[in-house]
């Protein structure tokens, strides 16, 4: 059809582009409104000790409580927020909510460790990040040791030296760092040695087919062995069943997260999980 009606087709394509642009701008406007109205929420997924089954901490995962569409997952809005230059503001709202909640979690359970927050590339590369963080933690009387930042391999790959500088800054300020989705990028081991990180989080894709897929099990074993050599803790993401957990126990993985224990839940539901965990 395009061959016979090239001109019309071209017009159609233009119109399509416009609709796309309009949708995008509308979505961006909604994101701005969401920031102004504080429509973002934080859910918490427990980080659990592989051997004791106790909750050691949590990962904070942002949710958009949209007035018409209800709870929206980050896959639907993070990339656009990044492209619109709004992810920094969103991240500061997340940090603010996490600091408010940490105070509560620690008062409920004295053994509670820290909350991990996902950093976006824009935040990680922002020279003012440390100052911004300081303002929020001072306000809530939270200590840097109560917070961990998850950084993906892809965020450090473009410019290793600069990334190490930023990591050193966060580390020197007392924050804990971890590498998220480990195994999906290809950060060289030579650099990994120089990263001031506390732990590696093995990507869900390697856990998914364990132990049936012997390659994945071998990869997990290799990651654990390498991490131990470097003095790093290993966290498995996306654990969905008992068999996967048993395999992780035998691999001597340290912690896990996943639907098998709990999905990410609102702060009050997380407190209930903490109370139950303290009874163990
Ligand atoms: P991530 O940091 O790798 O987080 C893990 C994702 O896996 C979460 O999805 C979590 O709900 C999901 N998950 C946990 N356990 C299981 C499981 O057993 N099975 C399955 N199928 N999935 C599981 P979520 O909450 O939709 O977040 C997706 C991604 O969005 C995160 O991946 C992270 O990269 C990003 N993200 C989330 N919150 C924030 C935030 O506050 N700031 C930034 N910059 N990014 C965020
Ligand atoms: Mg994460
Ligand atoms: Mg991850
Ligand atoms: Mg992931």
Reported as a pLDDT band with limits 50, 70 and 90, residue 2 is very low
Bridge-based pairing of strands 147-152 and 176-182 is parallel
Phi, psi of 50 (to 5 degrees): -60, -40
Higher pLDDT, residue 197 or 153: 197
Q: Which atom of ligand 1 is the closest one to the Cα of 259?
A: 18
Nearest to 88 by CA among 76, 78, 97, 98: 78
Q: Report the nearest atom of ligand 1 relative to the CA of 239.
A: 18
pLDDT of residue 278: 75
Instruction: Tell me what the pLDDT averaged over the chain comes to.
Output: 90
For residue 13, pLDDT over 80 is answered with no
Q: What is the mean pLDDT of residues 121-149?
A: 96
User: How far is CA 104 from its chain centroid?
Assistant: 21
Average pLDDT over residues 37-57: 97
Pairing of strands 55-66, 70-72: antiparallel
Report pLDDT for 213.
85
CA 88 to chain centre: 14
Picking from 13-17, 28-32, 38-42, 216-220, which range would have the lowest pLDDT averaged per residue? Answer: 13-17
% the chain with pLDDT above 90: 74
Angle at 57 between CA 52 and CA 59, to 5 degrees: 125
What is the pLDDT, as a whole number, of residue 12? 52
Going by pLDDT thresholds of 50, 70 and 90, the confidence category of residue 201 is very high
Number of H helices, E strands in the chain: 12, 9
Q: Measured between alpha carbons, how far is 88 from 105 in angstroms, rounded to an integer?
A: 25
Specify the pLDDT at position 15: 58
Burial class, 117, CB count within 10 angstroms (exposed 0-12 / middle 13-18 / buried 19+): buried
Query: CA 190, CA 2: separation in Å to the nearest integer?
Result: 53
Average pLDDT for residues 204-216, to the nearest whole number?
A: 89
Which pLDDT belongs to residue 212? 86
- Ligand 1 neighbour 118 (Cβ under 6 A): yes
What mean pLDDT comes out for the span 187-192?
76
pLDDT over 90 at 17, yes or no: no
| Distance in Å, CA 203 to ligand 4 centroid | 6
Overall average pLDDT of the 155-178 stretch: 93
Q: Measured at the alpha carbon of residue 45, what is the angle toward residues 121 and 201, in degrees to the nearest 5?
A: 55
Give me the DSSP letters along 70-101: EEE-GGGTHHHHHHTT-HHHHHHHHHHHHHHH
Question: How much is the average pLDDT of 152-178?
Answer: 93
Contact yes or no for 214/231 (Cβ under 8 A): no
Q: For residue 58, is pLDDT > 60?
A: yes
The pLDDT of 242-269, averaged and rounded, is: 96
Region 164-175 average pLDDT: 97
3-state secondary structure of 270: helix
The mean per-residue pLDDT over the stretch 26-45 comes to 96
The answer, yes or no, to whether residue 3 has pLDDT greater than 90, is no
Taking phi over 0 as left and psi of -120 to 50 as alpha, with beta for the rest, 271 belongs to alpha
Instruction: Look up the pTM and report it.
Output: 0.92
Protein residue with its CA nearest to atom 21 in ligand 1: 238
Question: Ligand 1, closest atom to CA 203?
Answer: 3
C-alpha closest to that of 253 among 191, 197, 202: 202
* Token duo for residue 249: 């126990």
Determine the distance separating the centroid of ligand 4 and the alpha carbon of 139, expressed in angstroms. 30
């Amino acid at each position: 059809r395009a061959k016979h009606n090239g001109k019309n087709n071209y017009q159609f394509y233009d119109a399509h582009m416009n609709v796309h642009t309009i949708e995008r701008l509308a979505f961006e406007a909604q994101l701005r409104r969401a920031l102004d109205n504080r429509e973002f929420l934080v859910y918490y997924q427990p980080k659990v000790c592989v051997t004791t089954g106790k909750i050691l901490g949590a990962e904070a995962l942002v949710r958009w409580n949209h007035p018409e569409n209800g709870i929206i997952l980050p896959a639907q809005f993070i990339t656009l927020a990044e492209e619109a230059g709004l992810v920094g503001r969103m991240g500061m709202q997340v940090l603010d909510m996490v600091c408010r909640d940490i105070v509560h979690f620690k008062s409920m359970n004295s053994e509670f460790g820290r909350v991990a927050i996902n950093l976006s590339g824009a935040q990680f590369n922002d020279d003012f990040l440390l100052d911004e963080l300081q303002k929020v933690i001072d306000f809530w009387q939270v200590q840097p040791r109560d917070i961990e930042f998850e950084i993906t391999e892809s965020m450090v790959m473009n410019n290793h030296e600069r990334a190490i500088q930023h990591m050193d800054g966060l580390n020197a300020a007392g924050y804990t760092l971890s590498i998220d989705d480990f195994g999906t990028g290809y950060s060289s081991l030579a650099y990994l040695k120089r990263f001031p990180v506390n732990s590696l989080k093995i990507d869900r894709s390697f856990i998914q087919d364990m132990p049936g897929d012997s390659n994945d099990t071998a990869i997990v074993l290799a990651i654990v062995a390498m991490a131990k050599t470097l003095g790093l803790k290993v966290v498995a993401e996306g654990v969905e069943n008992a068999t996967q957990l048993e395999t992780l126990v035998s691999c001597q993985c340290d912690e896990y997260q996943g639907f098998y224990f709990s999905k990410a839940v609102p702060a009050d539901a997380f407190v209930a999980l903490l109370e139950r965990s303290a009874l163990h």
